[in-house]
Amino acid sequence: MKRIHLLCHEGPADTLAPLFEAARREGLRVGWLDLGAAPDAVPPALGEALDRGAFRAAAVAPGRTVAAKARSGPPVLRDLLREHFLGCALVVVRPGGGGEAHPELEEVPRLEAGDGRFRVVPPAGDGLELSAEALAARLRRPRPWG
């Protein structure tokens, strides 16, 4: 599996729109993983199918597909990346709410957005301030933040 870069971002997805567009211009895919999604984030029909015993459920609408899968236990980041984000150069992870830290995210750099600029802050070390274009271009590197 080709390496997928990860960044944690606690803000809404709309603050990353310039990055999504810059990556698209570079021919790169960016994924969004929300570990703090509310239970009602799954469309009711899909949730009902899962509650009744379906292993997977999907809904298709013009321009998008929503999929849901029954799961027991806490989410495993590596499994989520393999199942949903193959082909992505970057997955932006929105950590879960409620103050619970996901242990697999402790070493993942934070992404801060503001004024058309982005700041990548590693767990240990200085932050790196970049434009959307510069950040997207770095996604082609094996170690884009170092």
- Give mean pLDDT, residues 54-60: 94
Q: How confident is the model over 6-21, as pLDDT tens digits? A: 999 999 999 999 999 9
Which numeric CATH code is attached to 1-35+75-146? 3.40.50
* 88-113-42 Cα angle (round to 5): 55
Q: How far apart are CA 35 and CA 111, in angstroms?
A: 16
Q: How confident is the model over 92-122, as pLDDT tens digits? A: 999 976 545 678 888 899 999 988 799 999 9
Could you tell me the residue ranges of all domains in the chain? 1-35+75-146, 38-71
pLDDT of residue 146: 75
pLDDT of residue 14: 93
Global pTM reads 0.89
Q: Taking all residues of the chain, what is their mean pLDDT, rounded to a whole number?
A: 90
